[in-house]
Amino acid sequence: MPDSAPAPGKRFVEGPDLEGLVEAGFNRDVLAYLAQHRPSCHSDTGSALIEAAEECGDWIAFSPSFAQCRYVALVTRRKVFALGRGQRSACFRLPGALGRTALATGAVPAPEIGSDWLSFALFEADRPAPDLPFWTLRAYAAAREPEAGLPLA
């Protein structure tokens, strides 16, 4: 999936250990979902999600295997903020008003991942494409907000 070197502040990590990159308590729901379901991610879906993150600052694109089309998780400040899964699903952690706005623009709840998670369908011929850069940046910004107990870096 990654064809060229990422821009500064962006990196790709491949392997079995997402848990080593994230804060376990904050990410409990998404980690449980990933461990139980072990979702795939079509290369087009993963690439679209990674390309949408280009305007974000520091982030990690993680996959157990990009080559074997496993899920793609975007992480910042030890928080998973986006997830590519399946043939055409881009999921985002969008709390509060962000989530309500996303629902009004075509997202659907993804409670199997967590209570603040929503999913946008990609590559559907009969409906407009979601604005992935917009939603990726919003989820990224929400994940960057300081929280008690989490480091700022």
CB neighbours of residue 95 within 10 Å: 14
pLDDT digits (tens, 9 = 90+) for 33-51: 999 999 999 999 999 999 9
Q: What is the pTM of this model?
A: 0.90
Residues 65-104 pLDDT 10s: 999 999 999 999 999 999 999 999 999 999 999 999 999 9
Contact 31, 19 (CB under 8 A): yes
The residue extents of the domains of the chain are 10-144
Burial group, residue 61, by CB count within 10 angstroms (0-12, 13-18, 19+):
buried
Domain 10-144 sits in CATH at 3.90.1150.30
